[in-house]
Amino acid sequence: MEHHIAPENSITPEVKELIAKYEKAELVKKHRGFGTNAIHAGQEPDPITGGVSVPINLSSTYAQKFPGEPFGHFDYSRCGHPTREAFEIAIAAAEHGKYGMAFSSGCAATTCIVQTLAGVGDHVICCDDVYGGTQRYMRQISQQKNGVTFTFVDMTDVKNVEKAVQENTKLIWIETPTNPTLKVCDVEAICAFAKSKNIITATDNTFPSPYLQSPLLLGSDISVNSVTKYIGGHSDVVMGALVTNNKELRDKLFFTSKTIGGTPGAFDCYLALRGLKTLKVRMEAACKNAQIISEYLEKNPKVEKVIYPGLTSHPQHEVAKKQMRGFGGMITFFIKGSIEESRKFLAAMKVMTLAESLGGVESLIECPAVMTHFSVPPEVRKELGISDNLIRLSVGLEDIEDLVYDLQQAFEKI
C-alpha cells in the first residue's frame, strides 16, 4: 500500500517558516471550563457499576410502578432516554445554555425550530448563503406546504435584516460563517435588533462549533448544530442538537420534537458524547492547520483568491475576531481556471479525501458547484459567487506537512 507522506525537503522554506510560526502561537483564546464540561457534564460515573463512560441504553420503553407512574422520568424513548439525556446536558454546558435537545440530524433540529415558531401567515428572515438543506426545507416544505413566507438577505450588513422585517416576522435565522463563501455576520448586532422587535433568533453554529462561538452569549435565543460535523467529529454519526436558555421556548420545541419525531437513538448519542469530549483539542488543531494552509494558498500563484476568516484579507475579519475564539477549519479558495482545472486538481488529491461533508478528523475537499451545491439553481449560485473554480476544504488533523504537500503536488498537475 502506498503511504502518502510528504518526502523530506518537499516543503518550501516559506511554508516551513509558516509552520514554525503557528506551532508556537496560541491561536485559540481559552474557553474557560469548556474542556472539563465536555468530559464531565451529564456524565457522572454510573452509580451502580462506577463505569466512567455513559452506557448505551437501548430500551425503547420504561416499566411503570402504577399506571401513569414510571420508575424514573422516562416513559418512552422518543421523548427521552438516558444516553440522550447525558448528551443533552453536555451540549447545553458546551453552549453555555440551560436546555439541550438532541435530534436525529441537524435538519431535524432545524425543522423542529421552524415548525415551532412559524406557521400559516408568518414570516421568517434567513441569511442568503444558508446551508443548502435548510434553504430547501424553507422553500419547498415550509413555504410551499405550510404557508410561511421567507426573505433571504445578506446578513453581513445588519441593515438588510432591519429592512426585511415585517409585522408578521416571527423568526430570524442566522448562520455564520456561511457555507461555502464563509461570510461572517455580527450575531450580537442582529440579535440586539431582533430583541427590540420581539423576534426570536436561531443561529446555526455548525461551522465554528460551540468551542469557537457561543451564540447564546451573543444574544441568540437558540443555538443549533449539525452534530454530524465537528461535534461528532469522526464522520460516523448523523445527529443534531439545539440549546436555549428560555424555558417556555424549550417546552414548545420539546412538544414539536416529540410530536413530529426525528429524535436520536442511544448509539448515536453515545458517539456524539464521545466526539464532544475531544472537540476542544480537535478544533484547536484544525484551526492551526487551517491558518497555515490559508496563508500558504494566499501566496500560491495558481490561486486567484482565498476566503478564511483568520486572514486579514477577509472582509469581516474584525467581526470574526470579536465573536469567535478561533477561525475554524473551513477554507474556501478559487483556483485559476475552469471546471476542468477544478476536476483535475481534486482528482489529484492523495491525502485529502474528495467528498462532501466536513468537520471530521480527515481532510475533505470538494467542488460545491458540482457536489454539495449542485441543487442550488445556477443563477442563485452565480449570485452567491459559487463558481466552478471554487474549492471548499475542511481541514482535518493530519500532519500539516502532508496536507501542504498534497495541495502542492495537485497544483503541479494543473
Residue 295 or 396 with smaller CB distance to ligand PLP: 396
One of 131, 211, 230, 405 is an active-site residue; which one?
A: 131
CB of 3 vs ligand PLP, minimal distance in Å: 31
What 8-state DSSP symbol labels residue 203?
A: E
Write down the least CB distance from residue 209 to ligand PLP, Å: 11
Of residues 301-320, those binding ligand PLP (CB under 6 A): none
Stretch that binds ligand PLP, among 29-37, 38-46, 101-109, 314-322 (CB under 6 A): 101-109
Nearer to ligand PLP among residue 207 and residue 308 (C-beta)? 207
Cell of 213: 462561538
Q: Is 229 a catalytic residue?
A: yes
User: Binding segment for ligand PLP among 21-29, 46-54, 221-229, 251-259 (CB under 6 A)?
Assistant: 221-229
The yes or no reply on residue 373 touching ligand PLP (CB under 6 A) is no
- Exactly one of 82, 106, 177, 275 binds ligand PLP (CB under 6 A); that residue is 106
CA-to-CA separations, 111 to 118, 120, 123, 135, 139, in angstroms, rounded: 10, 15, 15, 11, 12
Backbone angles phi, psi at 173, to 5 degrees: -105, 115
The residue within the footprint of ligand PLP, chosen from 105, 244, 289, 394 (CB under 6 A), is 105
Closer residue to ligand PLP, CB minimum distance, 107 or 290 = 107
CB nearer to ligand PLP: pick between 18 and 273? 273
Q: Is 78 a catalytic residue?
A: yes
> Per the residue annotation, which of 204, 221, 388, 406 is the catalytic one?
204
Q: Site for ligand PLP (CB under 6 A): which residue of 43, 160, 206, 257? A: 206
Report if residue 360 touches ligand PLP, rule: CB under 6 A: no
Residue 11 identity (one-letter amino acid): I
Write the binding mask 228 to 267 for ligand PLP: x where contact by CB under 6 A, - elsewhere. xx--------x-x---------------------------
Please choose, from the candidates 230, 227, 232, 208, the residue with its C-alpha nearest in 3D space to the C-alpha of residue 218.
Answer: 208
Q: Would you say 235 or 296 has its CB closer to ligand PLP?
A: 235
Residue pair 200/249 in contact by the 8 Å Cβ criterion? yes
Nearer to ligand PLP, 97 or 240 (CB): 240
Among 41, 54, 107, 306, binds ligand PLP (CB under 6 A): 107
Q: Which is the catalytic residue, given 16, 21, 29, 78?
A: 78
Task: Please give the angle made by the CA atoms of 314, 21 and 404, to the nearest 5 degrees.
Answer: 70
Q: How far is 242 from 310, CA to CA, in rounded Å?
A: 26
- The reply to whether 131 belongs to the active site is yes
157 is catalytic: no
Q: Are 239 and 232 in contact (CB under 8 A)?
A: yes
Residue 110, C-alpha cell as written in the block: 432545524
111-170 residues near ligand PLP, rule: CB under 6 A: 131, 133-134
Cis bond before residue 177 (omega within 30° of 0)? yes
* Cα–Cα distance, 217 to 333 (Å, whole number): 31
Alpha-carbon distance 33 to 128, whole Å?
Answer: 34
Write phi, then psi, for 35 (nearest 5 degrees). Answer: -60, -40
Bridge-partner residues for 339, per DSSP?
none
Give dist(CA 342, CA 360) in Å, integer. Answer: 23
Residue 244 DSSP label: E
Q: Where are the alpha helices (DSSP H) in 264-372?
A: 266-277, 279-298, 317-323, 339-347
Other C-beta atoms lying within 10 Å of the C-beta of residue 318: 12
Which residue, 106 or 233, has its beta carbon nearer to ligand PLP?
Answer: 106
* Residues within the interface to ligand PLP (CB under 6 A): 105-107, 131, 133-134, 175, 179, 204, 206-207, 226, 228-229, 238, 240
Q: Any idea which residues carry the catalytic annotation?
A: 78, 131, 204, 229
